[in-house]
Amino acid sequence: MQDLLAAGMADDVRAGLSAPAGAKRLSCRYLYDDVGSALFEAITGLPEYGLTRAEERILKTAARPILQQAGPCRVAELGSGSGRKTRLLLQEGNVSRYHPIDISLSALAHCETLLSDLVPVEGIHSDYLDGLSEVNIRRGDERLLLLFLGSTIGNFSPSEARFFLTAVAARLRPGDLLLLGADLVKSALVLLPAYDDPIGVTAAFNRNLLARINRELGGEFNLRLFEHEARWNEPAGRMEMHLRSEIGQSVRIRALDLLVRLEAGETIWTESSYKYVLPDLQRTCEDVGFRHVHTWTDTGWGFAELLLER
């Protein structure tokens, strides 16, 4: 069984790379095949990328009060990845079972390996909202603690994030909790090295998207002809990742019967990571149906963990 994204990848790649010059883009969700996920794990350990360590520092402090607030509960997680950070919460106990929700079968397998000694693990191979709907079929009045960790909310534009959080709220019962991680606005001097490290791990992570198209769709991209480019778009409040074509070139993708034409210097936009001003995010959450319970912040990096009640 292939990961769920495979079915839609061909259509998305065709649409994104058929766009005119200056408008080509690929969805960041295709960055995370097995190779990309391994590269991202390496990124989280880089000294320039402090986000993951900041969240782990918060969770070490906040895990006990979060679980005390939740009481007896089950835990679900949107986009669980390996589940490494989640262990900090589950080891506090009082959790009947854990539902990682992920489109990657390998991520679900990692979660079960890493966490099944603490709590029964029932993975759900699904996208976020369909998986959450499945978790919400519960017996009795058991509370749900839903995790959306890291800075994944930043991959949505502000309007998309509002729509997504509204949809999440609609799938939760009153009294359920959401733990939401968000990266905060900070200096470009900090952000740019985090997305363009000097040893090139982030560049390899970004180029792997083209390598994945080569592997899965018969693409003929020469990765050496693309440079990784990180940009801080201050007016929009987001980091962007692009792949810049070093020369004018035409690249065939055999499975799509598509010829992609790129001008010299033209980029393919591969990821956005929005950075938040904390009061704005809190206000958005309250607008869509959540009550703010508590926020923990890591001032060393500039990261926030919001505990919200439906």
Looking only at the bridges linking them, the beta strands covering 124-125 and 267-274 are: unpaired
Taking CA atoms, 103 is separated from 29, 115, 124, in Å, by 10, 18, 8
Predicted confidence band of residue 207 (pLDDT cuts 50, 70, 90): very high
pLDDT band at 6 (very low <50, low <70, confident <90, very high): low
Does position 84 have pLDDT exceeding 60, yes or no? yes
pLDDT of residue 4 exceeding 70: no
Res 232: pLDDT: 98
Alpha carbon distance 140, 20 (integer Å): 54
pLDDT band at 82 (very low <50, low <70, confident <90, very high): confident
Instruction: Specify the pLDDT at position 110.
Output: 87
> What percentage of the chain exceeds 90 in pLDDT?
85
Domain 51-186+276-309, CATH: 3.40.50.150
Mean pLDDT, residues 109-114 taken together:
90
Can you give the residue ranges of every domain in the chain? 5-31+189-274, 51-186+276-309
pLDDT digits (tens, 9 = 90+) for 158-204: 999 999 999 999 999 999 999 999 999 999 999 999 999 999 999 99
* Residues forming beta bridges with residue 27, ordered by sequence position: none
How far apart CA 148 and CA 305 sit, in angstroms, is 10
pLDDT at residue 5 in the model: 58
Confidence of residue 142 (pLDDT cuts 50, 70, 90): confident
Under the banding of pLDDT at 50, 70 and 90, the label for residue 1 is: very low
> Mean per-residue pLDDT for 280-285?
96
Cβ burial of 41 (10 Å; 0-12, 13-18, 19+) is middle
Question: What integer pLDDT is reported at residue 103 of this predicted model?
Answer: 80
